Amino acid sequence: MGAAILNLFVLLFLIFSSHSFPSVHSQQFPITNEGGGIDPTKTPVYIVHVEKPHGISNRPLRLRDLKNWYMSFLPNATLASGESRMVYTYREVITGFAARQSPKEVEAMESLDGFIEANPEKEHYTSTTYTPTFLSLNDKPSNTLWYDSSMGAGQIIGVIDSGISPNHPSFNDNGMPPPPVKWSGKCYWGNARTCNNKLLGAVAFRNGVYPDPYDNDGHGTHVASTAAGNFINNANVTGQAAGIASGMAPRAHLAVYKISFINPSGISVSTDADIYAGIEQAIRDHVDILQMSIGFVKYQLYNSPIVIGSFAAITKGIVPCACMMNMGPTPSILANDAPWILIVGASTFDRKIMASVLLGKGSELAGESAYQPGTFPSTQIPLAFPFDQLSTVKSTGCHLGELKKLNLRDNIVMCYRFGLKDDERGRNVLISGGKAMILLNDMPEGETTKAYAHVLPSSHLNNTDTNVIIEYYSNTANPTAAIKFRGTLFGINSAPAVATFSSRGPSLTNGGIIKPDVIAPGVNILAAWPRTVGPTKSIFNFLSGTSMATSHVSGIVALLRNKYLNWSPAAIKSAIMTTAYTLDRKGNPITDEYEGTSATVFEQGAGHIDPEAATKPGIIYELNYYDYVHYLCGYCKSNSPVQMIIKTKMNCSQVKTIEPEQLNYPSFSVSIGGNITEVQVKRKVTNVGDAGSTYTVDVKDPEGVRVEVTPQTLQFNQVGEEVSYEVKFSLKGGLPKPAAGEVREGRLNWDSGKYYASSPMVVTFV
Ligand SMILES: *[C@@H]1O[C@H](CO)[C@@H](O)[C@H](O)[C@H]1NC(C)=O
Ligand SMILES: *[C@@H]1O[C@H](CO)[C@@H](O)[C@H](O)[C@H]1NC(C)=O
Ligand SMILES: *[C@@H]1O[C@H](CO)[C@@H](O)[C@H](O)[C@H]1NC(C)=O
Ligand SMILES: *[C@@H]1O[C@H](CO)[C@@H](O)[C@H](O)[C@H]1NC(C)=O
Ligand SMILES: *[C@@H]1O[C@H](CO)[C@@H](O)[C@H](O)[C@H]1NC(C)=O
CA of 74 to the centre of ligand 3 (A): 60
pLDDT tens-digit series, residues 311-341: 999 999 999 999 999 888 999 988 899 999 9
Identify the DSSP state of 145: H
Cβ–ligand 5 contact at 674 (below 6 Å): yes
pLDDT tens-digit series, residues 272-286: 999 999 999 999 999
pLDDT at 301: 66
pLDDT tens-digit series, residues 157-212: 999 999 999 999 999 999 899 999 999 999 999 866 679 999 999 999 999 999 99
pLDDT at 369: 86
Q: Report, as an integer, the average pLDDT of 45-68.
A: 84
pLDDT at 142: 38
Average pLDDT, the chain: 87
| Ligand 4 atom 13, closest CA | 651
pLDDT tens-digit series, residues 87-119: 999 999 999 999 999 999 999 999 999 999 999
Q: Which helix (H) or strand (E) holds 520?
A: strand 518-521
Judged by average pLDDT, the poorest of 228-237, 461-470, 575-584, 642-651 is 228-237
Contact by Cβ (8 Å): 185, 203 = yes
Q: Note the Cα 376 to chain centre separation in Å.
A: 37
Cβ–ligand 4 contact at 654 (below 6 Å): yes
pLDDT band at 469 (very low <50, low <70, confident <90, very high): very high
3-state secondary structure of 361: coil
Total residue length of the chain: 766
Ligand nearest to the CA of 363: 3
3-state secondary structure of 426: helix
pLDDT at residue 749 is higher than 80 = yes
pLDDT at residue 16 is higher than 60 = no
What lies within 8 Å, CB to CB, of 411 at 6+ separation is 381, 382, 383, 384, 433, 434, 435
Contact by Cβ (8 Å): 615, 576 = no
Give the ligand 4 atom nearest the CA of 651.
1
Judged by average pLDDT, the poorest of 1-5, 45-49, 682-686, 707-711 is 1-5
Ligand nearest to the CA of 674: 5
pLDDT band at 554 (very low <50, low <70, confident <90, very high): very high
pLDDT at 233: 61
pLDDT at 56: 62
Distances (CA, A) of 587 to 493, 495, 522, 591: 9, 10, 21, 11
pLDDT tens-digit series, residues 598-643: 999 999 999 999 999 999 999 999 999 999 999 999 998 889 999 9
pLDDT band at 764 (very low <50, low <70, confident <90, very high): very high
As a whole number of angstroms, the distance between CA 197 and CA 201 comes to 9
| Ligand 5 atom 11, closest CA | 675
Give ligand 3 pocket residues (Cβ under 6 A): 365-366, 447, 462, 464-465, 494, 596
Query: When comparing pLDDT for 125 and 762, which is higher?
Result: 762
CA of 72 to the centre of ligand 1 (A): 15
Query: When comparing pLDDT for 159 and 375, which is higher?
Result: 159
pLDDT band at 654 (very low <50, low <70, confident <90, very high): very high
| Best residue for ligand 5 mutational test, from 672, 675, 677 (most atoms within 8 Å of Cβ) | 675
Amino acid (one-letter) located at 734: G
pLDDT at residue 490 is higher than 90 = no
Share of the chain above pLDDT 90, in %: 65
pLDDT at residue 240 is higher than 80 = no
Torsion angle (degrees, nearest 10) of CA 36, 37, 41, 43: 110
pLDDT tens-digit series, residues 129-167: 443 332 222 233 334 677 677 788 899 999 999 999 999
pLDDT at 243: 44
Judged by average pLDDT, the poorest of 2-6, 226-230, 707-711 is 2-6
The 10 Å Cβ neighbour count of residue 141 is: 17
Helices and strands (H, E) in the chain, number of each type = 16, 37
pLDDT at residue 442 is higher than 90 = no
Q: Report, as an integer, the average pLDDT of 523-531.
A: 87
pLDDT tens-digit series, residues 665-693: 999 999 998 888 899 999 999 999 999 99
| Best residue for ligand 2 mutational test, from 14, 17, 236 (most atoms within 8 Å of Cβ) | 236
Q: Report, as an integer, the average pLDDT of 77-81.
A: 95
What lies within 8 Å, CB to CB, of 423 at 6+ separation is 26, 27, 452, 454, 455
pLDDT at 394: 54
CA of 68 to the centre of ligand 1 (A): 18
pLDDT tens-digit series, residues 397-420: 888 887 888 889 999 999 988 777
Q: Report, as an integer, the average pLDDT of 748-764.
A: 98
